[in-house]
């Protein structure tokens, strides 16, 4: 399964772009290579730990971090796991992060923001209705347009009333 692919097949071999020598004297004496990305080290001898670290980092970046790092995480996954497996792993963890963002915004932020709209709440309801009526088309267009960071598009779509199912599959296709 996945463990065999990660542990035996690829062993998370570092590539040129993110490979750096361990700066400690012991690391240099042993010739140890660490694959370091975004200040984190992905140890090729601990594939499961590296896998979990990458996925947790990607989920956090896609869910709550308002800095556009999601595209960098695609490159990191490809470097760590190869093209096909890296894109698959990145897509799954990105969709999970976006789903977490949906839950946070829908249940914690949306009611407060709608209350703050005051006299503009009726206009918001009309806009929300229009987006829900068009369903997947608008959600997919927002995901495909490279004009906003992933977290911002998560928040914008989460503020609407589109279904979770539409939100998730348009996220998977649109990223």
Give the three-state DSSP class for 40: strand
Please give the average per-residue pLDDT across 120-143, as a whole number: 89
Prediction pTM value: 0.73
Tens of pLDDT, residues 22-66: 443 444 344 443 455 556 667 777 888 889 989 999 999 988 888
Task: Please tell me the distance from the alpha carbon of residue 55 to that of residue 33, in angstroms, as a whole number.
Answer: 21
Q: Tokens at residue 98, please?
A: 């976006």
Q: Tokens at residue 45, please?
A: 């001898």
Q: Which residue has the higher pLDDT, 35 or 70?
A: 70
Q: Quick one: pLDDT band at residue 101, thresholds 50, 70, 90?
A: very high
Residue with tokens 């065999």: 4
- pLDDT score for 33: 39
Task: Please tell me the distance from the alpha carbon of residue 33 to that of residue 89, in angstroms, as a whole number.
Answer: 23
Beta bridge partners of 21: 33
**Sequence-ordered list of residues with C-beta below 8 angstroms from that of 129, at least 6 positions apart, any chain:** none
Q: Tokens at residue 48, please?
A: 């499961």
């Amino acid at each position: 399964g996945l463990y065999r692919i990660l542990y035996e097949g690829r062993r998370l071999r570092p590539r040129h772009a993110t490979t750096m020598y361990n700066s400690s004297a012991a690391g240099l004496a042993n010739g140890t290579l660490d694959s370091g990305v975004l200040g984190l080290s992905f140890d090729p001898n601990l594939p499961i730990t590296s896998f979990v670290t990458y996925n947790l980092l990607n989920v956090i970046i896609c869910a709550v971090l308002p800095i556009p790092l999601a595209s960098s995480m695609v490159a990191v996954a490809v470097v760590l796991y190869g093209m096909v497996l890296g894109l698959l792993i990145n897509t799954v963890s990105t969709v999970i992060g976006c789903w977490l963002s949906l839950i946070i915004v829908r249940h914690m932020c949306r009611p407060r923001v709608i209350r703050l709209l005051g006299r503009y709440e009726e206009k918001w309801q009309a806009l929300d209705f229009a987006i829900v009526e068009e369903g997947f088309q608008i959600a997919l267009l927002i995901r495909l347009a490279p004009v906003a960071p992933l977290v911002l598009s998560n928040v914008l779509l989460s503020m609407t009333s589109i279904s979770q199912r539409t939100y998730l599959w348009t996220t998977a296709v649109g990223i």
